[in-house]
Structure 1
Amino acid sequence: MQAEQTARRWLADQGVSQVRGGWVSDEEPDVLLTANQVAHSWAGDVFAEDVDAADQVRLAFGLLDLLDEYWVTCEIRFANEGAEGPLPADVLWDGYRQRLEADRDAEAVTYSLWVDWFEDHVTSASAFAEVLGTDIDRVVVERSEALLRRARRVLECSGPVRWAVKEPTYRTAVRLPALHPALFRGLLTSFHDVYGDLEPADALALLDRLDLHTDTLHLAELRHVLAAGHRNHYRSPGAWDDAVRSCS
């Protein structure tokens, strides 16, 4: 909440304020702006502020809290990869972890992880380790609602992460039944995502350890394609349709 308030004050200093139904700028007070337009027009300016990089990152995450727009995470990524980057890793990933644990919508954060950090094999291993991999033992031991919330969200969007990177985390997470539905989603997207990655035999062994309702949507089909040795929907285009026919 404090980060959000700081971001609101910063926007006010830029001449941008929230009104009923949207946002307005001092330059065009009669033009109603969406949160997405505000993000595109001003989020990048955060990284031109004359403060240290850590405070820039905290301000950017405050804007994310305030606007709830994926584009803010894009500007964070651009800054990390830009001439002044990389950003301080501790502050960057603490920002992600906090928002993954928060009891509020985190779609912008999980989408950012999925398409920007996890689909890029240059960054996927380190990003996955930061948001879950290095903490999974703590999650299983402590089982706090915040940690479970973070684990579920990361597992569900972890399909593009290379199997060798995420498999040890999956094996640890399977010890906790509360994570089984999220693990199933992770396995399912590991098969279906364009960049998804899995090893069929290992994935099937994990799938068989999950305590899921027998009528879980796509459970039978996923078991079928894995048992047949298929690694990815796009490498075996007809495999899923065959599984649907076989399991119907």
Structure 2
Amino acid sequence: MEMQAMEEARRWLAERGVVEVGDGWVDIEAERPLTANEIAHSWAGEVFSDEGLGGAEQVRLAFGMLDLLDDYWVTSEIRFADQGSEGPLPADVLWDGYRRRLEADRDPEAITYSLWVDWFEDHDTSATAFAEVLGNDIDHIVAEASDSLLRRAGRVLACSGPVPWPVKQKVYGAVVRLPALHRPLFKGLLASYHDAYGDLEPAAALALLAQLELPANTPYLAELRSVVAAGHVNHHRNVHAWDEAVRASTD
């Protein structure tokens, strides 16, 4: 993670009486321990009210707090600030913050959850968010295929179910050329079918599934092939179709 941003966040919190002690946090004034979630709810939003910081500095500080606390609520406050009356946030700094953490060794669970339930499920933001974290770079990612870029691509693909199919179709078609991304692409296709907001075009999805190099016994591979071959677009529009596919695969 970004060590400088973390140190700035640690210093910013300490100035407000929230101090890291050992493996935990303490509110000095109240003389009581704090959880990371409590700090996120109390202070992440305040970052964007700090008039001593410019917009870009606020965003970097918020990401530093995310690195420090590893709590999803920090990403919520970042989105609130971007969508709020004082927004939008500086887009280059905002999305660079997402991309850097998606490329890091550390599992960015808060970041991927944020993309999935906040940015991707909202059709007002899904196209821009998907383009910023993956779509705009897809040709470079396929050409270079470095470990960090593959990490980013794989993590985005796995949570991309709610992204509208026309937005993600080109990316899905490009990454199928990289076997290292076949498993996360399959996760994305599976989520495209199962997610309540998932979006999938059956014929195109079936063609992609036919190109994936996955073990034949990959969980739900046969079932997904079956339902999309039958023209089904989403689990929630016909729950019986999936149940029937499951039964057929076990007979």
TM-score > 0.5, shorter chain as reference? yes
Aligned counterpart in structure 2 of residue 124 of structure 1, from 103, 123, 126: 126
Instruction: Map 1:116-155 onto structure 2 (within 5 A).
Output: 116-155=118-157
Taking structure 1 as the reference length, the TM-score comes to 0.98
Corresponding residue of 2:45: 44
Match of 1:245 in 2: 247
Deviations 1:188-241 (Å, cap 9, x if unpaired)? 000000000000111000011101011101100000111111100001111110
1:215 maps to what in 2? 217
Q: How far apart, in 2, do the equivalents of 1:7 and 1:78 lie?
A: 19
Distance 1:236 1:139 in 2: 36
SS of residue paired to 2:162: coil
**How many Å separate the matches in 2 of 1:82 and 1:223?**
42
Q: SS in structure 1 opposite 2:137?
A: helix
Matches within 5 A, 1:1-248: 1-29=3-31, 31-50=32-51, 51-248=53-250
Equivalent-residue separation in structure 1 for 2:227 and 2:59 (angstroms): 43
For 1:27, give the aligned amino acid. E
Structure 1 runs of 4+ off > 4 angstroms?
none
Query: How far off its partner does 1:21 sit?
Result: 4.2
Question: The residue matched to 1:32 in structure 2 has which SS?
Answer: strand
> What letter is aligned with 1:237?
V
Q: How many angstroms apart in 2 are the aligned matches of 1:86 and 1:193? A: 28
Which moved further from structure 2: 67-76 or 42-51?
42-51
What SS does structure 1 have at the residue aligned with 2:177? coil
Amino acid at match of 2:22: R
Q: Secondary structure at the match of 2:20?
A: strand
How far the C-alpha of 1:149 sits from its partner, in A, is: 0.2
Once the 2 structures are TM-superposed, how far is the Cα of residue 27 of structure 1 from its aligned partner? 2.0
CA RMSD in angstroms comes to 0.7
Q: Calculate the TM-score normalised by the size of structure 2.
A: 0.97
Please tell me the residue identity of whatever aligns with 2:103.
Answer: E
Which residue identity is paired with 2:148?
Answer: A
Specify every segment of 5 or more residues in structure 2 that has no aligned partner in the other structure, as ranges.
Answer: none
Classify the secondary structure of the residue corresponding to 1:71.
Answer: helix
Percentage identity across aligned positions?
Answer: 68
CA distance in 1, matches of 2:22, 2:57: 29
- For 2:168, give the aligned amino acid: K
Alpha-carbon distance between aligned partners in 1 of 2:28 and 2:44, rounded to the nearest angstrom: 17
Distance 1:175 1:236 in 2: 32
User: How far does residue 20 in structure 1 lie from its aligned partner after superposition?
Assistant: 3.2
What residue identity is the alignment partner of 1:40?
Answer: H
Secondary structure at the counterpart of residue 44 of structure 2: helix
- 3-state SS in 1 of match to 2:34: coil
